[in-house]
Structure 1
């Protein structure tokens, strides 16, 4: 099994990065783990209401 954590946007807070590093260390002992950080959203859904985005994606 392989786990992937996908973060949208940057992790600007140092305590978030520290937590991710600790999570990576702990999980790495038991399974394959990867962390993927994507850039901030641009375009149509950048400043959209999350409920509306989910509704449009479901259609």
Structure 2
């Protein structure tokens, strides 16, 4: 499975992504189907993206 958070989030959480055992590029995080999903890490990345885009007025 792949998730595609904003690039800033991947950079910010790069160490945690690697510690969770996931591969990542500049644009996506790959989660293997046969490994547990670190939902707390995904939640932190989502929260970071929401806060990072709080003042964004364009799409």
Give the alignment's TM-score, normalised by structure 2: 0.29
Give the alignment's TM-score, normalised by structure 1: 0.29
Of structures 1 and 2, the one scoring higher in RCO (CA 8 A, sep 6+) is: 1
Structure number with larger C-alpha Rg: 1
